[in-house]
Structure 1
């Protein structure tokens, strides 16, 4: 039984092309960033966050991880 239909592969990752261009095809890097941004800070024991607070702390963590901390504070309008 042939489950593959014409056009069914549209949108699928083109692994040979990506490998030839030395592009990353794994999800490990993204999973690591998600763990650093969200998991470590937001999932600590006894922590509870509102959606707004979680969004704010995630944005601050992203600036810190990207070494943009000083730029963030220099451009912050209080």
Structure 2
């Protein structure tokens, strides 16, 4: 695997983009793009576990901070993620 393929794959995933949107942008710009299979191989091999560990660590810190509070108020918009 080339270094540029690895860097492009991680830089698509980590900010929250998805492969299809970035591939479309690159196609419009007439630029080369990492293959879909390479992107998913990098995601599975290097990124998924690291992102999960980072999430669990930071989630634990937030929960520990909330446990020290007397009360916690949770707010939502009431839509329950329903489009209707």
- State the structure with bigger RCO (CA 8 A, min sep 6), 1 or 2: 2
Which structure: greater helix fraction? 2
Larger Rg: 1
Name the TM-score, length of structure 2 as normaliser: 0.28
Name the TM-score, length of structure 1 as normaliser: 0.29
